[in-house]
A = this chain, B = another copy of it.
Amino acid sequence: MAGSTIGTIFRITTWGESHGKAIGVVLDGCPAGLSLSEEDIQPFLNRRKPGQSIYSTPRKEDDAVEILSGTFEGRTTGTPISMIVYNKSQHSADYSEIASYYRPGHADYTFDAKYGFRDYRGGGRSSGRETTARVAAGAVAVKILNQLGITFTTFTRSIGDIEIDEARFDRKEIFHNKLYMPDAEAAAKAGEYIVEMTKAHDSVGGCVEARINGVPAGLGDTVFEKLVANLAKAVMSIGAVKCVEIGDGAKVSRMTGSEDNDGFMFDEQGTLLKTSNHAGGILGGLSDGSEIRLRASFKATPSILKNQRTVNKDNENIEISIKGRHDPVIVPRAVVVVETMAAITLLDALLLNMTATMQGIEQFYKK
């Protein structure tokens, strides 16, 4: 089945395996006239690339993006934007052992079950490396949304049990620590925890949060294409995510209506506001103009040195220890993936929304 495409108007198709020649994406439906070059995209890729800190794998992937089509004289033309990132550090030799067994927590077994065999080198298509392509396309979505006044604050909310303290929330701090946490104190503690777990030959999970401001009210749809439904799909399509929450999330199941409902009010300037934002900026599937808040919970990196039970090709029950350079935690590198997947979803809803009313259509074509 064809499962590498997402989006209706702003539509991306990714391709490539962890240890193939390259990873890439075709971004179709990007509006014409956007100023765009590799410099707009590279900073996003840098946020997810490995080897940046002791908390991420020391693999050195260059991850330099190249635009192959869709721009002319520095602007997008409205035609597909093809982007490629060559894989420079394939070490197939490292993965020969992996071919012989199923790694717990990975897609090895399920791939074989579906396709009859698999590209076992570094996880092949199911490697986190595939998100490189998403981030490249999502960087374009973020740029467009920024031009329309929509901004993202995306960060690591927690690592293991260590969660940020809202009272210490500092947006600037996010890019000042290697864990992308908006709370320096939490970041320090989380760093210690990661080091400790790494020494224990184990790995850790965590939570990413995105806060999106400046979104016009009314984006999304009422039934299956609810903005929140598409955000959930986009974020849950990131490997290792096991939970997606919007607004107060799981907590709402324990709240009463009077606690959870956000009232409406006009402020002194006559602007319509909500008295709170438990809903996380989406009501009935449509954006309500207030801050959109969503969270994704990531499981711990499944590749660990600690012994694990599994089976091999000779149908034997065995114990394995997975060597190689693996992130002890993928959460910090996933921050930009959550941000860009949210951006792709939001931009698509924003473009689709242009056809919502006869009045809007008539005004557009009167020009």
Q: Which residues of B contact A77 (CB under 8 A)?
A: 17, 115, 117-119, 124-125
Of A40-48, A49-57, A170-178, A219-227, the one with at least 4 CB within 8 A of chain B: A219-227
What per-residue 1/0 map shows which CB atoms of A267-289 lie under 8 Å from chain B?
Answer: 00010100100011001111111
Question: Within the assembled complex, what's the spacing in Å between the Cα atoms of A255 and B205?
Answer: 6
Count of chain copies: 4
A window 83-124: CB within 8 A of B? 84, 102, 104-107, 109-111, 113-119, 121, 124
Given contacts A3-B225, A110-B288, A126-B222, 11 further A-B contacts (CB under 8 A): A1-B29, A5-B5, A24-B69, A31-B357, A33-B115, A72-B118, A79-B119, A106-B284, A204-B257, A232-B244, A270-B315
Q: Which residues of B contact A207 (CB under 8 A)?
A: 250, 253
Please state if A24 and B357 are interface contacts (CB–CB under 8 Å).
no
Please state if B361 and A364 are interface contacts (CB–CB under 8 Å).
no
Question: Within the assembled complex, what's the spacing in Å between the Cα atoms of A161 and B251?
Answer: 10
Please state if A32 and B356 are interface contacts (CB–CB under 8 Å).
yes
Closest chain B residue to A315, Cβ basis: B266
Task: Please pick, from B228, B242, B357, the residue contacting A236 in the complex, using a CB distance under 8 A.
Answer: B228
- Given the known inter-chain contacts A2-B29, A256-B197, A283-B109, please indicate yes or no for A114 contacting B353, CB distance below 8 A: yes
Please state if B289 and A15 are interface contacts (CB–CB under 8 Å).
no
- Given the known inter-chain contacts A15-B26, A237-B285, A286-B111, please indicate yes or no for A264 contacting B33, CB distance below 8 A: no
Q: Which residues of B contact A62 (CB under 8 A)?
A: none
Q: Which residues of B contact A31 (CB under 8 A)?
A: 355-358, 360-361
Q: Which residues of B contact A11 (CB under 8 A)?
A: 2, 5
Please state if B32 and A105 are interface contacts (CB–CB under 8 Å).
no
Dominant secondary structure of chain A at its interface with chain B:
mixed
Question: Within the assembled complex, what's the spacing in Å between the Cα atoms of A23 and B70?
Answer: 11
Q: Is residue A130 contacting chain B, with contact meaning CB distance below 8 A? A: yes
Q: Is residue A64 contacting chain B, with contact meaning CB distance below 8 A? A: no
Q: Is residue A180 contacting chain B, with contact meaning CB distance below 8 A? A: no
Q: Is residue A9 contacting chain B, with contact meaning CB distance below 8 A? A: yes
The smallest C-beta distance from A307 to any residue of chain B, in angstroms, reads 9
